[in-house]
A and B are shown apart, each in its own frame.
Chain A
């Protein structure tokens, strides 16, 4: 479990960083999305990995040890929403840049 998650985060991050450094805006936006997925998984893992444990206490007298940490899940939810909005915004800017410069290069110039 730990190994799989660590590998997933690592692969996502390295692909993300590679793509962010590429010259075309579309590659950059995919890279940014991959980076944010990696970060979201990382935040989730910071609440310690638990299988089959609910994040919300039910009933009085429940033992907190039976539950997983709810805070990272709330953080991830916020981060996903914000990341989604930012990606949408960046997409618009990307299209505007494409329209204004006639090129999908990050600095607006081919070659």
Chain B
């Protein structure tokens, strides 16, 4: 290790520096705090982009190692940046910057310590994506969870405290399960380095095999709780819809940390068994279908947009689980693209909901909710006013944003949500052998969830934009608030335009992911295997 590249640790160091500086400077002068944090957010985005470009320009097999304290690899903790981590770190940075700018318009002073907590979440998420050590993964999980507890409570109020309390209890139990799984794995393979586990896993004696798989299963349950899989997701809609909007937007990356952990560990540890059915593959498929079904039906039942967005997150979590369970490189490639665009679009919906709350007068929101309960016979329109009032430009902008987000989440052409879903389905059919039952379930789940999500979004959009928007009144949008939403959706649209290169990049990424020897050999040079 003569030329250690420090780029891999910067996405962790920069948010940490931001936390420290925020605590030193304090919240006393709002403009100064905002300026500092926007600078840090942009810096974080810059570093993430630099890491991404560096990794992307290298060979597809290139894995960037950062041994902390320069300890030799299986003994010390190591950070590993490969294409998958770099992609997700970049996604986190984009989402975090949008949430930060949005919050600086007015949300940041609804409570204390918004910015340090936000940076702590970024640090935890980046660390979880970059670490190559199982126990270190636990520490970063705890870091991001601790910050998320604080953020879920941000703003206070009875609903928030109640939802956050349930969220904390469930995650504390999940952390216990995480530790149990890690301990079982350590007890059977004697190492916590992920590459070392992958190397040692096939060598486990037969009598310990059951214990090792039990450990992985317990660990998997902890990940599934975080990923929001059915039937472990009941904490999710309440927490996400009662948190402050910029916070919920940021939270949409958190379920992807669970997805990432499962993908990383399963492709590393269990892929070595060849093309056969790997450990728990069927379970993941069944859970994925159940999650998608529950999420779609839940989305149909929602009248409020923030609750609907929570169920959309469950749908996307289920889709990603299905893709991991399918365990084929071309499906995984589509899933990574889907993870990126679904995160950004869900974040945009949470922010949009807040913008709409400011535009819509409270009484018309009640109308939108109760429209279907009581019918609309009371909407006797005064004949004189029916002169097709002009729709203000600001409303048009908001409704275009809503339409783009709806298309993204439902996976309709021409946007990248469709391309990602199409890539997954095409990958499922293109894989070797005749289409199996799993292929048909997979395809049906993806298609039907798209339809149900579309119905839910369209119904919501009609209620908001056609039934309850006040026509003619002057609608004012804060640039700081609509800007991040447009930005997030612009990235999604950009990904649709640049879908060719993006998919090419991701297919290489997925091929490397499914050939874990490259990862293992890069992290443990000379281990042979």
Contacts and interface: CB of A to CB of B under 8 A. Distances in A.
A44 B357 CA distance: 52
A86 B142 contact: yes
Contacts of A85: 146
A43 interface: yes
A28 B168 CA distance: 11
B176 A36 contact: yes
Nearest to B215: A46
B149 interface: yes
B431 to A, nearest CB: 38
Contact of B158 (A20, A82, A90, A101): A101
Interface string A31-57: 010011011001101110000000000
A86 B139 CA distance: 12
B168 A90 contact: yes
B292 to A, nearest CB: 28
Given A39-B180, A86-B175, A46 B186 contact: yes
A90 B172 contact: yes
Interface string B149-182: 1100100111001101110110011011001101
Nearest to B135: A75
B505 to A, nearest CB: 36
Contact of A106 (B142, B165, B182): B165
A89 B165 contact: no
B415 to A, nearest CB: 40
A30 interface: no
A92 to B, nearest CB: 9
A96 B183 CA distance: 34
Contacts of A66: none
A111 B192 CA distance: 46
Nearest to B168: A90
A110 interface: no
A100 B161 contact: yes
B217 to A, nearest CB: 15
Contacts, number: 87
A94 B180 CA distance: 26
A97 B146 CA distance: 18
Contacts of B149: 89, 93
A14 interface: no
Interface string A91-111: 001101100110000111000
Contact of A39 (B139, B162, B176): B176
B313 to A, nearest CB: 23
Interface residues of A, number: 33
A93 B179 contact: no
B72 to A, nearest CB: 15
B185 to A, nearest CB: 9
B172 A32 contact: yes
A85 B173 CA distance: 15
Contact of A86 (B135, B161, B165, B172): B172
Given A32-B172, A35-B176, A86-B142, A75 B162 contact: no
B187 A93 contact: no
Contact of A93 (B135, B165, B183): B165
Contacts of A45: 187
Contacts of A32: 169, 172-173, 176
Nearest to B191: A71
Contacts of B168: 86, 89-90, 93
Given A20-B173, A93-B149, A82 B183 contact: no
A63 B478 CA distance: 69
Contacts of A47: 186-187
B369 interface: no
A39 to B, nearest CB: 5
Contacts of B142: 82, 86
A25 interface: yes
A108 to B, nearest CB: 5
Given A42-B180, A42-B183, A101-B162, A20 B169 contact: yes
B184 interface: yes
Contact of B192 (A25, A71, A93): A71
A26 to B, nearest CB: 12
A20 B184 CA distance: 23
B166 A78 contact: no
A78 B162 contact: no
Contacts of A100: 157-158, 161-162
Interface string A54-89: 000000000000000001100100110011011001
Interface string B23-61: 000000000000000000000000000000000000000
Given A32-B172, A39-B179, A93-B161, A46 B184 contact: yes
Nearest to A25: B165
Contacts of B172: 32, 36, 86, 90
Contacts of B150: 89
Given A25-B165, A101-B158, 16 more contacts: A38-B176, A42-B180, A43-B182, A43-B186, A46-B183, A46-B186, A75-B186, A83-B175, A86-B168, A86-B175, A93-B149, A93-B165, A96-B161, A106-B165, A108-B158, A108-B162
Interface of A: 20, 25, 28, 32, 35-36, 38-39, 42-43, 45-47, 71-72, 75, 78-79, 82-83, 85-86, 89-90, 93-94, 96-97, 100-101, 106-108
18 contacts: A20-B169, A32-B176, A46-B186, A47-B186, A72-B183, A72-B186, A78-B139, A85-B146, A86-B142, A86-B168, A86-B172, A90-B165, A90-B168, A93-B153, A100-B158, A100-B162, A101-B161, A101-B162
- Give 7 closest A-B pairs by Cβ, nearest first: A46-B187, A43-B183, A46-B183, A100-B158, A39-B179, A39-B176, A97-B161
